[in-house]
C-alpha cells in the first residue's frame, strides 16, 4: 500500500530549490566595496561609547588588566635589565677605549724618547750605520770582567784615584797623559841612558808605572 505524498519507492518529495538568482537578490543591496552611509557613520561613535559603558566591557577590561599587569611588570623589569646591560657595556667600552688611547700615547712617547736618545752625528755616520744601529751603539757599555789577582789588589786603589779626577777631564785625556809619560821615558833613556844609566832606568820604570795607572783609571 502506498502512502500519500510519497513516490512509488517510498521517498519523500523533494522541496523546491531556491534559484541562484533569487538567493543573490536576497543578499542585500550593498556590495563589499560600498562605504557606510552618513547616518551609520554618525551613529558609530554612540555605539562605541555605549559598548564602553556597558558592564560586560568593564568586566572584560578589568580581567584583561589583571592578566596583562604581571606581563607589563615583567616587561618593565626586562627593560630595566636591558638598560643596565647597555650602561655596563657602554662603560666597559669607554674604559677599554681609554686604556687603548693611553697605551697608544705611551707608545708614541716611548718612540719619541727612543728617537731622542739616538746619538746625533754630522751626517757621515749614517753612511755606515742605520738609526737602530746607532741607538744600539749609543747604549752600549763595555763590561770588563777581570778576575786576576792584580785587579783584586789594585781595584780599590784605582777607584779612589778615579774619584779624584775632575769630571771635566775625559778618559781619553788620562790615556794621553800616560802615552806622554811613555814618550818621556823613551826620551830620557835615549838621551841620558849612556851617561846616567841608573837614573834613566828609574825614570823609565816610573813612566811605565804611570802609564799603567792611567790606563787602569781611564776605564773607571
Q: Write the DSSP assignment of 23-54 as a string of letters.
A: HHHTS-S--TTPPPPHHHHHHHHHHHHHHHHS
Of 207, 144, 142, the residue nearest 177 (C-alpha): 207
pLDDT digits (tens, 9 = 90+) for 147-172: 788 878 888 888 888 888 888 888 88
**For residue 33, what pLDDT is reported?**
44
Residue 1 pLDDT exceeds 80? no
**pTM for this entry:** 0.36
pLDDT in tens, 19-33: 444 434 444 444 444
Closest by Cα among 124, 111, 119 to 135: 119
Chain center to CA of 88? 18
Amino acid at each position: 500500500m502506498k502512502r500519500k505524498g510519497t513516490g512509488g519507492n517510498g521517498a519523500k518529495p523533494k522541496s523546491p530549490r531556491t534559484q541562484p538568482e533569487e538567493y543573490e537578490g536576497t543578499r542585500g543591496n550593498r556590495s563589499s566595496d560600498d562605504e557606510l552611509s552618513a547616518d551609520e557613520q554618525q551613529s558609530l561613535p554612540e555605539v562605541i561609547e555605549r559598548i564602553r559603558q556597558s558592564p560586560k566591557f568593564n568586566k572584560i577590561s578589568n580581567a584583561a588588566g589583571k592578566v596583562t599587569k604581571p606581563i607589563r611588570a615583567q616587561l618593565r623589569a626586562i627593560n630595566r635589565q636591558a638598560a643596565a646591560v647597555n650602561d655596563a657595556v657602554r662603560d666597559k667600552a669607554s674604559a677599554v677605549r681609554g686604556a687603548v688611547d693611553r697605551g697608544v700615547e705611551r707608545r708614541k712617547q716611548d718612540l719619541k724618547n727612543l728617537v731622542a736618545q739616538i746619538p746625533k752625528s754630522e751626517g757621515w755616520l749614517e753612511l755606515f750605520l742605520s738609526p737602530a744601529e746607532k741607538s744600539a751603539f749609543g747604549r752600549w757599555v763595555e763590561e770588563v770582567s777581570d778576575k786576576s789577582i792584580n785587579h783584586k789588589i789594585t781595584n780599590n786603589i784605582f777607584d779612589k784615584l778615579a774619584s779624584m779626577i775632575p769630571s771635566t777631564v775625559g778618559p781619553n785625556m788620562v790615556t794621553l797623559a800616560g802615552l806622554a809619560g811613555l814618550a818621556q821615558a823613551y826620551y830620557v833613556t835615549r838621551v841620558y841612558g849612556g851617561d846616567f844609566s841608573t837614573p834613566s832606568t828609574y825614570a823609565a820604570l816610573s813612566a811605565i808605572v804611570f802609564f799603567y795607572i792611567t790606563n787602569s783609571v781611564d776605564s773607571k
